[in-house]
């Protein structure tokens, strides 16, 4: 979990113009996610895949309270009037469910409005 940040849907996709997930600073908010261990080669490949995002080191808290420095991707290319596709949004919600993120966080994700295809 990362504190004083919020998950938003404001990074415009180059492919279809839909919103992609992003993280912004927001006091009192938190973002939950999953930590993966990647090799330097995997990170270089991910850098190419995550175009429009910048790789950033951040500190997070694991569920047991341990502080850990990890890598995330954040974009400064923000646009407020866009929505995610239903398919992309469902992938995010399903991932949160599969990894047993807190139910109230999943409920917040489930309320996101999607673009009509």
CATH number of the domain bearing residue 60: 3.10.490.10
Structural domains in the chain (count) = 1
Residue-range definition of the domain harbouring residue 8:
2-79
Residue 97 lies in a domain: no
Residue 32 lies in a domain: yes
DSSP code string of 3-64:
EEEEEEEEEEPTTTS-EEEEEEEEEEEEE--------HHHHHHHHHHSTT-EEEEEEEE-TT
> What's the predicted TM-score (pTM) here?
0.87
pLDDT tens-digit series, residues 15-66? 899 999 999 999 999 999 999 999 999 999 999 988 889 999 999 999 899 9
Q: Cα–Cα distance between 68 and 15 in angstroms, integer?
A: 34
> What's the pLDDT score for residue 50?
87
pLDDT tens-digit series, residues 65-109? 999 999 999 999 899 999 999 999 999 999 999 999 999 999 999
Residue 38 lies in a domain: yes
- CA torsion angle 83 87 89 94 (round to 10): 180
Residue 42 lies in a domain: yes
Residue 29 lies in a domain: yes
Residue 55 lies in a domain: yes
């Amino acid at each position: 979990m990362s504190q004083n940040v919020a998950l938003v849907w404001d990074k415009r996709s180059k492919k279809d113009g839909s919103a992609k997930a992003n993280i912004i600073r927001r006091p009192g908010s938190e973002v939950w996610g999953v930590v993966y261990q990647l090799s330097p080669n995997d990170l270089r490949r991910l850098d190419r895949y995550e175009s429009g995002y910048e790789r950033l080191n951040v500190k997070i808290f694991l569920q047991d309270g341990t502080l850990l420095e990890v890598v995330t991707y954040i974009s400064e290319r923000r646009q407020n009037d866009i929505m995610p596709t239903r398919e992309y949004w469902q992938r995010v919600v399903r991932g949160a469910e599969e990894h047993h993120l807190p139910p109230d966080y999943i409920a917040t994700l489930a309320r996101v409005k999607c673009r009509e295809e």
